[in-house]
Amino acid sequence: MKLVKLLEKLDYKVIKGNVETEIEHLIRDSRKVGTGDIFVCIKGANSNGHDFVLDVIEKGAKAVVIQEDLKTEVMEQVPEGICLVQVENSRKALAFLSAAYFDYPAEKLITIGVTGTKGKTTTTYMIQSVLERTGVKTGLIGTIETVIGDTRIPACNTTPESYVVQESFAKMVEEGCKAVVMEVSSQGLMLDRVAGFEFDYGIFTNLSQDHIGPNEHKDFEDYMHWKSVLFEHCKTGIFNVDDAHAKDMMRNAKCKIETFGMEQEADLKASNIQLFQKPGILGISYDLSGKVTMPVEIDIPGKFSVYNSLTAISVCLHFTDDIELIEKVLSEIRVKGRVEMIDVSPDFTVMIDYAHNAMSLESLLKSLREYQPKRIVTLFGCGGNRDRNRRFEMGEVSSKLSDFTIITSDNPRFEEPEAIIEDILTGVKKADGKYIQIPDRKEAIKYAIEHGQKGDVIVLAGKGHEDYQEIKGVKHKMDERVLISEIKAELNL
């Protein structure tokens, strides 16, 4: 492929060489450069690609894309025949180059992007499930995994680097996918990971304080701004109008706007919301009105499930008018690690959830309290080498909102589990909830199940979809679903 073809949708300046040169591979990692490749210099938090220009040329790179001016002594050492191209933003350039390199796969898919603080993961799986059942083969990119046909690739980031996004799109096209649904994080938008194409549908779930800190967003306004950027780059925006920040998210939108909610008037509105219980299951039902009228029942607890399902319905109505099919698929939805109920006993409910900070744990426990369980038993730990405040906050929330807290281990990393538990206890003791500490996570889960009482809801919080325990730099295989299966066998359940 000629370099000029890769550059066709970019503004750039040729500093040296000829853009008609032939290129083998597009590379963003200097360690992977080979003969005939083009290397894109990205300035990251820990390294700067501009420092490796001469190294990649020595390895055989034919072209280099830069953002910063190179030092004079570096420029003098760049040999003839090497093409140097300068752009305003090399991260954004990587996105456009990647789209061209993979022959613009997004144009061959219906692209659906979901952004918001909570609900992105569940919503993407709901959308994918309904679309697949309507005959629209759909890929998925998100916090848990990337799904391409029968292939499932564990995720590293909620929204991968632009090269990986475009590579995944291309593989989806090869697999015969007609659509893709993906989680779009504020970081993904800020770092141009989804630049280079326009979404067909952009979805806003909700917004609250999150991802604010030295390595993320400087303040809430910055966080909100980057979330809203999605709606400057999509054709149709679908918004939760009940959220306090919905109007802020719409302010600079350049797309057609559709809405859903249960408090405000909307294109799709949920009413007559009812909580229900079945053996081992907590769910919610409601009546849908607006564009369509239908009853909806979901075996996932909490009012947040209403919003997640409204989002899925809003999107899926663009693909099918088979209301009965949508209704049936939503009633069968299960999402790994997101209020995922595990069959243990008809007497009590056991669920696995990814709640790993005070905000998400509080939201979950308040939702569960509405079902008036005999007890809420919350089992959790906190990650090592992370902000200690999270430990204090989660401990206090669990102690206030649970009837019993089981404090255990969760990715201690390079800290001692007992030290992390002591921090959690500081928060637990700020309230008056009963508790026990059991560092070994399997033993903690076994204790919870063995002591489960009729009408209890047992929450295993923090791990969610994760299938490992990180200790001293090593990820040890550990899936709570497997642990529960082993425990059931041991207890003859």
Residues 305-359: tens digit of each pLDDT: 999 999 999 999 999 999 999 999 999 888 889 899 999 999 999 999 999 999 8
263-273 residue pLDDT tens = 999 999 999 99
Comparing 3-17, 196-210, 376-390, the range with the smallest average pLDDT is 196-210
Name 159's bridge partners.
Answer: none
Does 211 score more than 60 pLDDT?
A: no
Pairing of strands 474-477, 404-407: unpaired
What is the mean pLDDT of the segment spanning 10-14? Answer: 96
pLDDT at 49: 94
Which of 59, 63, 52, 2 has its CA nearest to residue 35? 59
277-296 residue pLDDT tens = 988 899 999 999 999 999 99
> What is the pLDDT confidence band of residue 237, given thresholds at 50, 70 and 90?
very high
382-420 residue pLDDT tens = 999 988 999 999 999 999 999 999 999 999 999 999 999
> What is the pLDDT confidence band of residue 44, given thresholds at 50, 70 and 90?
confident
Taken as a whole, the chain contains a residue count of: 493
Task: Please report, for residues 114, 117, 183, 360, the alpha-carbon distance to residue 157 in angstroms, rounded to integers and kept in the order given.
Answer: 15, 15, 10, 19
Average pLDDT of the chain is: 94
Q: Set out the domains of the chain in order of their start, with CATH numbers.
A: 3-93 (3.40.1390.10), 102-331 (3.40.1190.10), 340-490 (3.90.190.20)
> What is the pLDDT confidence band of residue 216, given thresholds at 50, 70 and 90?
low
pLDDT at 86: 97
**CB proximity list for 268: less than 8 A, separation 6 or greater:** 259, 260, 261, 288, 289, 290, 291, 292, 310, 313, 314
